Amino acid sequence: MATGWSAGVLVEDVLRVGSFAGGDAAASDITLAPARRVELLAHFSGAFDLAESQPVGHACRVAHFALGIAGVLGLTAAERRRVLSASLLHDAGVAVRTGAGHLDGGAWVAERFGLDEGVSNAIRHTHERWDGQGRPNALAGAAIPVESLIVSAAHWASDQVEGPDNPLRARTLLQRACPRDVEPYVGPEISAALSAVLRDDRTWIAMWSPKLPALVAAAGSGEGRPSLRNVEAAAAAMGEVIDAAIREPGRARRVADLAVALGEGLDLPLANRRALSLGGHLADIGQLGVPRHITEKPSILSVEEMEQMRRHPGLGGRMLESAPGLDGIGAWIEGHHERPDGRGYPAMLGGAEIALEARILAVADAYCALRADRPFRSALSRLESVALVRAGAGTQFDHTVVGVLPAALDACEPRWAREPEAVPTARDHAVAPAKVRRGA
């Protein structure tokens, strides 16, 4: 069983299937691999970067500086793990609309991923300042969690690096400005540690590596063995975050559930169905990179806005293509708005060029969208939604997949009716927080 993972992996924790065919509806040859939570967080952080209007890699660069500082200060392994998680999620709250500000939003995201209170607490205090001029509690000095101060120092450094277009110039400017400029924010000890990090050539060699997510994740040891359950839990958590950012609670779970039921109806192998669940939770991760005024626009999108919206499958696919445990899923996500008649996006693929799983995700995604309230219409009934999907069979949607939709809904809808939502309701969502930039 070729898995890409060697010793220490449970056999039953890795699923792979060979070819499977049913007419032109051939299931993909997919391998599901185990992963650790921190590896997935490092990759998902690219979505939070986009939501924060930062270049992808920003959160990983913050984590890289922060881990360097933690190393110079001799922090414990548990403290380093908290620093890493808080760095990766430091502005995840910008994406979500919990109605309580982006710092509490970030803490909410950390809880979704099963991280401990220390991480949430660290995120909540990343805007405090050593000199007491910060927020939300105007804490000062050692009253601020050390993890928060380290993330703050690392964020300051990351901002300086991402400004100038020449990395060598950025390095020179940063070394000149530190520790003087950052000390009021984080105090003498952490600013001195940051200076040491900035003088270390290893810091800069890794800084612009495309493997930075893997490099920072490797520093988060102590989470136990990689597992498929970690991958599934992280995908489900990310789905909740996507829902809280751009649509109503429970959407990702319903899309995943329906995609799996459609896969069952088409007799797909177990590995493909488990992978479909991951794809359902993550299908619209790329929408975090679409400006909020477009995803929330209550009226018809302009041509330019529609073009931006149509980038989301590609953005999502690229975010996941090198994420451990999600290999192969990215291509399905990239294809979830393609159409059998070749009029979809982003690649205008047609018929069997579109992976069967992408065609399944398209039906599940469209059905669940029709059942939801939109700013310009109320939610449609099951009858109306099925009729609309059926009307698109053979053109917008795969007719074989549409054929098993009623039976899949019979399986899913009783479950959905029993499950209360665990995330804030749409009505609880306040106006989106403004883009966050530190003053330092």
Site of interaction with Fe ion (CB under 5 A): 91, 284
Shortest Cβ 61–Fe ion spacing (Å): 9
Determine phi and psi for 33, rounding to 5 degrees: -115, 150
What letter represents residue 125's amino acid?
H
Closer CB to Fe ion, 227 or 295, in the complex: 295
Closest CA to 420 of 239, 234, 236, 253: 253
Token look-up 């400006």 returns: 291
Shortest Cβ 128–Fe ion spacing (Å): 15
Number of H helices, E strands in the chain: 21, 2
Token pair of 259 as six digits: 């995609």
Is cis: bond before 313, omega within 30 of 0? no
Shortest Cβ 93–Fe ion spacing (Å): 11
Closer CB to Fe ion, 236 or 271, in the complex: 236
DSSP H stretches of helix in 163-200? 167-177, 183-199
**Residue 378: Cβ within 10 Å count:** 8
What H or E segment, with its residue span, contains residue 16?
Answer: strand 15-16
Closer CB to Fe ion, 146 or 333, in the complex: 333
Shortest Cβ 174–Fe ion spacing (Å): 16
Q: Is the separation of the CB atoms in 270 and 14 below 8 Å? A: no
Closer CB to Fe ion, 243 or 284, in the complex: 284
Token pair of 434 as six digits: 């403004």
Closer CB to Fe ion, 130 or 156, in the complex: 156
Closer CB to Fe ion, 93 or 424, in the complex: 93
Shortest Cβ 107–Fe ion spacing (Å): 15
Shortest Cβ 330–Fe ion spacing (Å): 14
